[in-house]
Amino acid sequence: MLLKQALLIENLKKSFGNNEALKGISLSVEPNEIFALIGPNGAGKTTALRIVAALLTPSGGRVEVFGNNVRERPDRVREIISYLPEEAGAYKNLTGNGYLRFMGELFATQRRELDDFLQRARDICGLGDRLNDKIGTYSKGMVRKLLLARALMTRPRLAILDEPTSGLDVINALEVRNLIKGFAREGMSVFLSSHNMLEIEYLSDRVGIIHQGIIYDMGTPEELKGKYGSSNLEEVFAEVAR
Ligand code: ATP
């Protein structure tokens, strides 16, 4: 049997009033693949991620997650994805543990599954005893790791991560990148956006460069560097976005 693509996007369009945020983008993400969208501010990255996460309705085109159309089966899509928003907050009056339990209970079907989720979340966030403290007392980086743990604890088939390491220091960012890579090796597919070219180069199997709602180029980091005669992705990006 042919394995279904983790994500299929065909001619995806999204307008906000007269503003065409996405002008017909197409791409696919294979099972186990880490695919990154890079592009300048306002390029349409978050819009694309939010549509895949079944949070925004497309104006046109087709989006399927493991063969499930996001318009026709949004509930099924929500069951198999996790979405980490760029500007996410968590309930400040809950403790880290309380938050993870609250979120875990929404997804777990049995007690044992919930325990698995919580154990995995604790391992991912590495916050230790601080999980007993209220989230309002956490640093920005701690909140980010808690949210990432929430997103990955359910072992989604497709993780949609908007700027996963935003606000993290070098060491924590590195840890998070390794975590994402590890999860992908174990079978998770990832669709992410980032402004950090080093991160993209380190993490992604393939990259799509988006600018003004259009995908200008796509390929492995090596392919793109070769094509533009650049030593790093930052130069490729600057060339394409010019
Ligand atoms: P950044 O790197 O700054 O996060 P981005 O590539 O994620 O940018 P989007 O947030 O997808 O860009 O925005 C793409 C375009 O769509 C922008 O022109 C933005 O103003 C517009 N847009 C996004 N969300 C909305 C909304 N809810 N209502 C109206 N316009 C929106």
Q: Is residue 2 scored above 70 in pLDDT?
A: no
Rounded distance, CA 225 to CA 208, Å?
13
Phi, psi of 195, rounded to the nearest 5 degrees: -100, -5
- Of 129, 157, 161, 119, the closest CA to residue 144 belongs to 161
21 lines ligand 1 (CB under 6 A): yes
Per residue in 114-154, pLDDT (tens digit) is: 999 999 999 999 999 999 999 999 988 899 899 999 999 99
Instruction: List the single range of 27-41, 48-62, 168-182 with lowest mean pLDDT.
Output: 168-182
How far is ligand 1, taken at its centre, from the CA of residue 46, in Å? 7
How far is ligand 1, taken at its centre, from the CA of residue 133, in Å? 34
Query: Which residue has a Cα nearest atom 18 of ligand 1?
Result: 42
Structure tokens at 48: 């694309």
Rounded distance, CA 222 to CA 231, Å?
9
CATH hierarchy code of domain 7-240: 3.40.50.300
Spans of all domains in the chain: 7-240
Per residue in 103-118, pLDDT (tens digit) is: 999 988 899 999 999 9
The structure's pTM equals 0.93
Structure tokens at 235: 């130069």
